[in-house]
Chain A
């Protein structure tokens, strides 16, 4: 159990457009989901924490108006990159944790975003 999926796995978009990435917990309810960004050959950087039914908490330096996060249900969180620019090109990874076990996060396979 504890599988997290992401869709799409890869996306290419033009500069100025918006892209939505979905993160789903397939076999458990995730009260909290996390969004990370990973640059090539670098570590994962936490962007934001989202709790079902409430506003996401963004890490310092992350533009909340650019990276819109919605956690509408216990199994789905979405990250929308608005007005994407080439510098937004990156690998975006989500993770989810079960209620009461926030230390144990299950990671999605990631989404490769390329902005041309």
Chain B
């Protein structure tokens, strides 16, 4: 069975501080992981995908198979980064298992 764990429900940081949102997964197959973001009063949208190995809005995430982790990082948080972040695991080609989400609050 697949599982995604986001241990922090809420993460508060000051503007300009580094931020790391944790995500751990459990999956017997080859994992494909994503980060989705939901800004206030907006719909869920894709932030980044591990296969792309790209940086979106300054965020990066590296898949660490040894630690079964896919933490989301940004060196300098901005107020507009405040949102709900969900780590998601793709399984069976097209199904997503979502973590419980972490609310990021960036204080001025």
Query: Which A residues lie at the B interface, using CB under 8 A?
Result: 4, 32, 34, 41-46, 49, 93, 95, 97, 102-105, 107-110
Contact = CB atoms under 8 A, between A and B. Distances in A.
B43 interface: yes
B100 A43 contact: yes
Contact of B93 (A4, A46, A102): A102
B83 interface: no
Given A43-B98, A107-B43, 20 more contacts: A34-B94, A34-B95, A34-B96, A43-B99, A44-B86, A44-B98, A46-B95, A46-B96, A49-B94, A49-B95, A93-B44, A95-B44, A102-B93, A103-B32, A103-B34, A103-B90, A104-B46, A105-B96, A107-B44, A107-B45
Instruction: Classify the interface of chain A: helix, strand, loop or mixed.
Output: strand
Contacts, number: 41
Interface size class of B (residues with CB under 8 A): 10 to 19
Most buried by B among A43, A93, A107: A43
A108 B45 CA distance: 10
Interface in B28-46: 32, 34, 43-46
The 9 A-B residue pairs with the shortest CB-CB distance, nearest first, are A102-B94, A107-B44, A43-B100, A43-B98, A44-B98, A109-B43, A107-B43, A103-B90, A43-B101
